[in-house]
Amino acid sequence: MKRVPRILALLLAAVLILPLSGCGSSDGKTHLTFQIWDVGQRDGMQAMCDAYTANVNPDVVIEVQVTSWSEYWTKLEAAAESNTLPDLFWMHTDQILYYSEFGMLADVTDLFPYEEHYSEISISNAQGTDGRMYGVPKDKDNICLIYNKEMFDAAGVSYPDETWTWDDLEEASQAIYDATGNYGYMAYNDEQLGYHNFVYQNGGCILTEDKTKGGFDQEATREAVEYYVNLQSYDWCPDQAYFAETSPGTAFFSEKGAMFLEGSWNLLAQMTNYPNMVGKWDVAVLPAAPDPVSGDGRATISNGLTYATGAHGKNLDIALDVLKYFAGEEAQRIQGESGAAIPAYEGLEDTWISAFDKFDYQLDLDNAIMSQFDYCVQYVNNSARPKWKSGVVDIMTSIYNGSVDIDTGLDNIQNLINTETSKKLADS
């Protein structure tokens, strides 16, 4: 007999209890709450909400509330258990399968003609395991290479471009270290901002195409992970003990290192937060695998958030109407022009680029970001990911610090993913 998760049992008991998240007020209007975790996007999100009020329903007022990432999911789950979910909230691909499977998210499949305006990846990011839509695509992103132009100049090395491979990454790193004493490429122990990109460039995978098994038993995957881990053996690459104290971004913008991988979602904030560095750095496409096991050596991980609402909200009809507006061109354009994120809506990518016009110096976003959408790989996820993700991080840490050899560690990762995925499938 299946065990009903605590959160589901509480939800079933509370279905008929009206949530307290949104309500009418003395002004006669309906007030909704919209929960997000990124303060940098608050103004953009509020602009979308205000536009809904101004252009669609003047009797609805939406307040954007920001909760830090570290607290967001704890509070959201507690709200789900008490049936007091916010009227509107962001949903991450790590969590959407979990929340949708237990009936916590409203089905928005028929709300909008998604196939006409969104990419396959954006649609997939919003789907549950049943193929239904449980969120409206919000944005899209990919991973680029950030580099320090002054350090490249000092070492007499040409800037990274689309011809670069892993070999060029190594050669440039060594030359920069020799010339300046600063780190070259900083290989941080991360998935989306690290080795996952190298795995797919080499023709490997983290999960099989049907997402039922891990891909760490494949030659291409193991070869890429070993390559990435071994980068820290060079003097020009910090080890993970260094990153425990200093993030690669902090090291880069303190001018201690020349290169690292960064997400497109952070670029505007970095231009804003480090005015002393404007003009000293730029972005490029990821270096390709020089001799991939399969494919052309190019890949970058792409993710995207969704806008969602609870399945049993008091203001469900109004919340769905807001989500329908969020899915449309007008709202997505506002999001892009605010600089909050690259709109998931196809054809509006330039609106995000325009947010950088306020700076005298322009990053090479067309080549470094937009061109990579041609070969993006969807963010790695299956319904068991919440069960195996932290374990994989722990094993990778053990590999990095040498307490577990690479072959054993990768075998352990494969077994962990397969075990947890099998359990999840058996419970489905």
Domain chopping of the chain, boundaries: 6-141+303-347, 143-301+381-427
What pTM value is reported for the model? Answer: 0.91
For the cut 80, the answer to whether the pLDDT of residue 307 exceeds it is: yes
What SS3 state is found at 371?
Answer: helix
Task: Using the predicted structure, report yes or no on whether residue 38 has a pLDDT greater than 60.
Answer: yes
Angstrom distance (rounded) from CA 379 to CA 268: 22
Is the pLDDT reported for residue 414 higher than 50? yes
- In three-state secondary structure terms, 349 is helix
Count of beta carbons in the 10 Å neighbourhood of residue 112: 19
Amino acid identity at 294: S
Does the pLDDT value for residue 273 go beyond 90? yes
Query: Which distant-in-sequence residues (6+ apart) come within 8 Å of 16 by Cβ?
Result: none
Please tell us whether the domain made up of 6-141+303-347 is placed in CATH 3.40.190.10: yes
Integer CA distances (angstroms), 150 to 159, 254, 303, in order? 10, 13, 31
- Would you state the pLDDT for residue 11? 44
Res 428: pLDDT: 72
The pLDDT tens digits for 391-406 are 999 999 999 999 999 9
275 pLDDT exceeds 50?
yes
Higher pLDDT, 1 or 269: 269
The mean pLDDT of 172-182, rounded to a whole number, is 98
Q: Per-residue confidence at 26, pLDDT binned at 50, 70, 90?
A: confident
Residue 321 banded pLDDT, cuts 50, 70, 90: very high
Determine the pLDDT at residue 27. 84
Half-sphere exposure of 329 (CA within 13 A, CB side): 5
Average pLDDT, stretch 22-42? 86
What pLDDT was estimated at residue 21? 46
Which pLDDT band holds residue 362 (cuts at 50, 70, 90)?
Answer: very high
pLDDT score at 3:
38
Structure tokens at 356: 């950088």
Share of the chain above pLDDT 70, in %: 94
Rounded Cα gap, residues 27 and 103, in angstroms: 33
Average pLDDT over residues 264-286: 96
| Integer Cα distance of 261 and 382 in angstroms | 24
User: What are the CA-CA distances from residue 71 to residues 11, 26, 74, 82 (Å)?
Assistant: 21, 31, 5, 17
CA R_g for the chain: 22
For the cut 70, the answer to whether the pLDDT of residue 22 exceeds it is: no
Mean pLDDT of 190-204: 97
Please write the tens of the pLDDT for every residue from 236-257: 999 999 999 999 999 999 999 9
* pLDDT exceeds 60 at position 160: yes
Look at residue 14 and tell me whether its pLDDT is greater than 90: no
Place of tokens 């909760």: 67
Residue 25 pLDDT class (50, 70, 90 cuts): low
Q: What was the pLDDT predicted at 17?
A: 35
Closest CA to 302 of 139, 169, 112: 139
* pLDDT surpasses 90 at 8: no
Q: What is the reported pLDDT for 1?
A: 33
Q: Are domains 6-141+303-347 and 143-301+381-427 of this chain identical in fold?
A: yes
Average the pLDDT over 20-38 and give the result: 80
pLDDT at 2: 36
Nearest-angstrom CA–CA distance, 100 and 126: 10
Whole-Å CA distances, 153 to 148, 158, 238, 325, 341 = 9, 8, 22, 48, 31
pLDDT given for residue 427 in this prediction: 84
pLDDT value, residue 340:
87
The DSSP secondary-structure symbol of 256 reads: S
pLDDT at 66 over 70: yes
pLDDT-based confidence at 9, cuts 50/70/90? very low
**Mean pLDDT along residues 90-118:** 96
Look at residue 224 and tell me whether its pLDDT is greater than 70.
Answer: yes
Please give the CATH number for the structural domain made up of 143-301+381-427: 3.40.190.10
Average pLDDT, the chain: 93
- Amino acid identity, position 304: G
